[in-house]
Amino acid sequence: MQKLSLTQSLQQKLSPQQIQFIKLLQVPTAELESRIEEELEINPVLEEGNDEEPEPAQESEPADENESEGADANDEIDIQDYLRDDDYNSYKTYNDPGDEEEEREMPLATTTSLHETLMTQLGFLGLNDRQLAIGRQLIGSIEGDGYIRRELESIVNDLAFAQGIDTTLDEVESILKKIQAFDPAGIAARNLQECLLLQLDRMDDGQDVDVIVGKRIISECYEEFTKKHYPKILKKLDLDDEDYIKDAIELIVRLNPKPGGEVMSGMVKNQYVIPDFLLTNNNGKIDVALNSRNAPELRVSRSYNDMFQAYEKSDKKDKKLKEAVSFVKQKLDAARWFIDAIKQRQQTLLRTMRAIVEFQYDYFLDGDETKLKPMILKDIAGMIGMDISTVSRVASSKTVQTDFGTFPLKYFFSEGISTDSGEEASSREVKQIIRDFISQEDKSKPHSDDKLEELLNAKGYNIARRTVAKYREQLNIPVARLRKEM
């Protein structure tokens, strides 16, 4: 038997303003301008700039969000709360006294991309249309580091399906060989071994012994070379003295493993990191400020007031005018929400950064990594009275500029390692010590992970060998055998 019943349940839902705030909080400074421009485009009530000549305001009670959001076009519209609301009519989210620097455009050097450089060289080969099409397909398959990782069989299929060119593997490979002769040396290689051989071929004049031996090492003993099994290389090449291969190996390790990076390096150098926070040390006092790009001047347009005044003087029966006023009210609420979200974003960013500085104050005085304390999201969330997820959103995408470099905020968060004295040491501090041990080791007998564990324990850090190995890998430092030098 079916029956109807009423039940009550409590649900937690985010308001539109909360959603707006969460999205803006995650946006880094570099993207904030485009987000504001987007909002300016879709909301005619929102404007950039401030009011240099403020007009007298009418005293009124703040508008009820629920009323303004869900106003019924059939009801009488109370627009008194929207006339000259100075709280939002002109609002600048951030104003640093004395910071009146004019905005300067940062000059960017013009650069040529890797593909453009290769296409130019392709044009010098005097190929026919068919060969040019194959060459363009191959160059289009070259990745940013200079390698072609797509199988040539797949490129043959691409040419057939996309361009209607019926070709063969041999024909594609012959064009590839021509492209591999382009600058930079090693370009269009299919793997590291081929990349190194291409570079050595450029150096081979038939007389340089180191180049000749180097080519034999890469072509005949590549696996042994990658594992630094030098005795096996000597045996395979039928040599009896390491001096025969020492200079050749030094030559090989100076080759460029990412030839595409040579052309693209100019572009990388001109991609600037825009810090969200600026930290300065003023005689032992750390000052925290937001980047001025977090300080957009936003205001609610004055023109909406004229429409409201016209509506006040009308008989309030003009349906079109009433619909227009309802539309403007919705856009006005949206503008208020956006401005308020920007303000909340600024306040949350500053509170979070100031808490991080307070927690890691000794580190920020001189940038000594060994002074970094163990710090997790929960520590900062407790200090500022906010949820961990809020701190996570701030830390995951923001950077800070200090007197000793620019760092992502997540750089300052790390787990703790216990010491003999019973204190907690930051994992970043331990990593720095591991890096120091390895930089000072005898390269002919590099420290194993067991040895590093022993050295750390001797300094009072209670750390296991597997943790040493994990930290070493996070530092991108290879195992002892691969660090060995002849």
The pLDDT value given to residue 290 = 87
Long-range contacts made by residues 110-117, C-beta under 8 angstroms, separation at least 24? 111/266, 111/267, 111/270, 112/263, 113/263, 113/264, 113/267, 114/142, 114/144, 114/146, 114/260, 114/263, 114/264, 115/139, 115/140, 115/142, 117/183, 117/263
The token pair at 45 is: 């009530």
Within a domain: residue 371?
Answer: yes
Query: Cα dihedral sign for 366, 370, 372, 373?
Result: negative
pLDDT at 81: 55
C-alpha 459 chain-centroid distance: 36
Pair of tokens at residue 206:
């038939």
476 and 382 in a single domain? The answer is yes
pLDDT of 324 reads: 74
4 in any annotated domain = no
Q: Is residue 16 part of a domain?
A: no
Same domain, yes or no: 171 and 234: yes
Residue 451: CATH number of its domain: 1.10.10.60
Query: 156 and 65 in one domain?
Result: no
Query: Residues 310, 380: one domain?
Result: no
Which contiguous run of DSSP H or E holds residue 416?
Answer: strand 416-418
d(CA 140, CA 158): 11
For residue 349, the surrounding DSSP H or E stretch is helix 319-359
Tally of structural domains, the chain: 3
DSSP letter, residue 48: E
pLDDT at 111: 52
Same domain assignment for residues 289 and 353:
yes
pLDDT on residue 11: 64
Domain co-membership, 256 together with 361: no
- CA–CA dist 247, 245 (Å, integer): 6
- On whether residue 3 sits in a domain, the answer given is no
391 and 469 assigned to the same domain: yes
**Based on the domain organization, do 250 and 357 belong to the same domain?**
no
Question: 102: Cβ–Cβ under 8 A, 6 or more apart, which residues?
Answer: none
Shared-domain flag, residues 130 and 261: yes
Which pLDDT does position 312 carry in this prediction? 67
Decide if 124 is inside a domain.
Answer: yes
Residues 389 and 411 in one domain: yes
Q: Is the pTM of this model over 0.75?
A: no
Q: Are residues 261 and 120 in the same domain?
A: yes
End-of-domain residue from the set 265, 285, 300 = 265
- Give the pLDDT score at 90: 44
Q: What's the rounded Cα separation, in Å, for the pair 44 and 331?
A: 7
Asked if the structure places residue 194 within a domain, the reply is yes
| Among candidate residues 323, 341, 366, the one where a domain is terminated | 366
- pLDDT at site 292: 75
| Residue closest to 352 by CA, chosen among 414, 410, 415, 294 | 410
The answer to whether residue 109 is domain-embedded is no
Per residue of the chain (486 residues), give pLDDT as tens. 677 778 777 666 666 666 767 777 877 877 888 888 888 888 887 887 664 444 433 333 333 444 434 444 444 555 555 555 444 444 444 444 444 444 444 444 445 678 888 999 998 998 999 999 999 999 999 988 899 999 999 999 989 988 889 999 999 999 999 999 998 899 999 999 999 999 999 988 878 888 988 899 999 999 888 888 888 888 888 877 777 788 888 889 889 998 887 544 444 444 467 888 999 999 889 999 988 776 667 777 777 766 666 666 666 566 777 777 788 788 888 888 888 888 888 889 999 999 999 999 999 998 887 788 888 889 999 999 998 988 888 888 889 999 888 898 888 887 777 666 666 677 778 888 898 999 998 888 899 999 998 998 888 888 888 888 888 888 888 888 778 776
Residues 255 and 161 placed together within one structural domain of the fold: yes
Domain final position from 366, 398, 432? 366
Domain ranges, residue 222:
114-265
Residue of 10, 13, 33 whose CA lies nearest to 294:
33
| In a domain? residue 101 | no
